[in-house]
């Protein structure tokens, strides 16, 4: 999943956080949720308004296309304390990385499980994990943010 690539990139850019997650396996669950919030694979989603609605004093008419920018919601300072800080122990972390309500990603449990397995294995087996300095290449996808590859070094 994009969680694994983007999460590893985030951790390698913040080596102290990578070490914290490696040294404290008990925070893997909250760490994964925080990585999903902090570097959300799902950036935005489009919808069609089903009935006239007013949001922020603006009329959105039935049939209008709207764009929900979930990644911005995941960094909303009215919702998250210190939203631009990666806090692997954040407890109040109801993020929008997998959407919400009827549009919630049915693959979310699988992505979380893959994340737990991958992060635990990579952190346990690859000491000294670090970016190798290569240019990052991102997939060309408007809805999902993810790397084409992630080159790293390790001891």
- pLDDT value of residue 103: 77
8 by Cβ neighbours in 10 Å (0-12 / 13-18 / 19+) ranks as buried
- pLDDT value of residue 45: 85
Q: What is the mean pLDDT of residues 32-60?
A: 93
Break the chain into its structural domains and give their ranges: 2-42+69-153
CATH C-level class of 2-42+69-153: mainly alpha
What is each CA distance from 155 to 6, 111, 123, 125, in whole angstroms?
21, 27, 12, 9
- pLDDT value of residue 2: 92
121 by Cβ neighbours in 10 Å (0-12 / 13-18 / 19+) ranks as exposed
* pTM summary value: 0.89
Asked if 136 contacts 147 with a C-beta cutoff of 8 angstroms, the reply is yes
- 36 has a pLDDT exceeding 80: yes
pLDDT in tens, 133-154: 889 999 988 778 899 999 999 9
pLDDT in tens, 92-101: 899 989 887 8
């Amino acid at each position: 999943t994009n969680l694994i690539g983007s999460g590893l990139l985030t951790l390698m850019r913040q080596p102290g956080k990578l070490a914290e997650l490696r040294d404290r396996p008990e925070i893997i669950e909250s760490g994964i949720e925080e990585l999903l919030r902090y570097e959300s694979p799902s950036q935005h989603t489009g919808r069609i308004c089903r009935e006239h609605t007013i949001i922020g004093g603006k009329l959105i008419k039935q049939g209008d296309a709207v764009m929900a920018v979930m990644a911005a919601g995941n960094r909303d300072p009215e919702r998250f304390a210190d939203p631009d800080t990666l806090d692997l122990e954040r407890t109040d972390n109801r993020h929008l990385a997998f959407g919400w309500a009827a549009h919630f990603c049915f693959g979310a449990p699988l992505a979380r499980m893959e994340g737990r397995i991958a992060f635990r294995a990579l952190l346990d087996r690859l000491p000294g994990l670090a970016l190798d300095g290569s240019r990052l290449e991102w997939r060309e996808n408007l809805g999902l943010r993810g790397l084409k590859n992630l080159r790293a070094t390790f001891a």
